[in-house]
Chains A and B, each alone.
Chain A
């Protein structure tokens, strides 16, 4: 037997690419039929995400500081502020130092927004999309992982972060926060592995300190209007009832910059044009950012997201 030619793509991956194509077609058809417009926003941007735990690739450009986009959120919200009502995008996002079973430095994001809607509508969109894809691919709205069947039929249960911590980490959010490291350790070691094992689940009502670009719940300011879907312990998407207040948004960006500065990290500039769009006015909107490769991995029963990508980071 000869050595494996490093230029070739594994047979198993080649077979999965045909199914990945099918999932792409079905996904587009789903959004197209619902009246969404597909948009394309830039990959090279002046302001990547300011989250402390995100690091962007720097692009060498003699004219100005440029980065590979970590998320199309700012540009897509500028489109909403410009009058678009329902938009979606399938694009590559780039995040340095993220590489593992479920992470790749370059991955495909499915991101969509609806105006005159909130997180509730986006959760419905999500469960209906995933269930439809499984049904069209496998003939039933379920997937199998490691011998276990996961029922994808909507509606998926919704559980708050606080309830999840009580149920799975036997502790209250009050006793954990503001220690963020402890929060994430418990989330990763105790909570996440138990989520979505028989049926996907939406985790909702994240602590206000972790709102990111979501608005704070009007009925309970301790929590943000932010949700995530989990399937078999794997985080599939992160969605918001979007923050529309430019003053609050600027304050959060400044705080993020201060954190990055204090942590010795590169401090990216604030996206002023995004804030200008918020000044003009963003209608109440809901949005969701879904890891498309992860969804394909789950639908095709693969173990790692690289297994459903033509050329993951280790196979460049």
Chain B
């Protein structure tokens, strides 16, 4: 349990079984009255925000949160299976929960899984991943203006905008925070 005096930004608490992070807080004390701490909280599962006021000395429940590095094994029947390489424990995350992060998974990709009460509530892929181009039109020969891009489909199904000189079969570095092309990866350096 946390005491109200321990409230800080980014503190993780739980209310009625739901994890929240403290976005902001303020000490509030009306004249001749009792002190409170007013907090702005973000629901870690839905992202929505709310305000809550606690009286000084009230106790807040800690959120039983854990972050684990896990390895992607395979996709089957709409569920992604991950393994904890330290103890071989496995867990599954649904397609819905993965969302767009599924585009960055390939055999053996290591991700950070956020667990609440030992259930996965979020996945953070590595900042950069390398993926092969499976389909793209050839660039226009002789075009040196360089101001146009074309679309390329990658092995995970992700479609990105790439420079005209990128060819099928090439390995590209992608920024998972934006889903954008960063550069070509030189194979066999």
Contacts and interface: CB of A to CB of B under 8 A. Distances in A.
Interface string B26-62: 1111111111101000000000000001011000000
A65 interface: no
A53 B34 contact: yes
A180 B31 CA distance: 13
B33 A187 contact: yes
A27 to B, nearest CB: 21
A187 B30 contact: yes
B27 A100 contact: yes
A174 interface: no
B34 to A, nearest CB: 5
Interface size band for B: 10 to 19
Contacts of A257: none
A235 B29 CA distance: 10
A192 B30 contact: yes
A97 B31 contact: no
Interface residues of A, number: 22
Interface string A144-164: 000000000000000000000
B27 A99 contact: yes
A61 interface: no
Contacts of B35: 53, 97-98
A185 B26 contact: no
A271 interface: no
A273 B46 CA distance: 61
A184 interface: yes
Contacts of B53: 185, 188-189
Contacts of A238: 31-32
A122 B38 CA distance: 32
Contact of B32 (A51, A97, A181, A189): A51
A53 B29 contact: yes
A183 B35 CA distance: 12
A189 B54 CA distance: 11
Contacts of A167: none
A98 B32 contact: no
Nearest to A203: B31
A53 B27 contact: no
Interface string B4-44: 00000000000000000000001111111111101000000
A228 B31 CA distance: 9
Contacts of B56: 97
A188 B30 contact: yes
A28 interface: no
Given A53-B35, A188-B36, A189-B53, A98 B30 contact: no
A184 B29 CA distance: 9
Interface string A81-107: 000000000000000011111010000
A210 interface: yes
Contacts of A98: 27, 29, 35
A177 B95 CA distance: 53
A212 interface: yes
Given A181-B55, A188-B38, A210 B30 contact: no
Interface in A159-216: 180-181, 183-185, 187-189, 192, 210, 212
A181 B35 CA distance: 10
Contacts of B38: 188-189
A185 to B, nearest CB: 7
B26 A101 contact: yes
B27 A184 contact: no
Interface string B85-116: 00000000000000000000000000000000
B27 A181 contact: no
Contacts of B29: 53, 98, 100, 103
A210 B32 contact: yes
B26 to A, nearest CB: 6
A97 B56 CA distance: 10
A150 to B, nearest CB: 20
Nearest to B27: A100
B7 to A, nearest CB: 11
Nearest to A98: B29
Contact of A103 (B27, B32, B55): B27
8 contacts: A53-B34, A99-B27, A100-B27, A101-B26, A180-B33, A180-B34, A184-B36, A228-B31
Given A53-B33, A99-B27, A187-B30, 11 more contacts: A98-B27, A98-B29, A100-B27, A181-B34, A181-B55, A184-B33, A184-B34, A188-B30, A189-B53, A192-B30, A238-B32
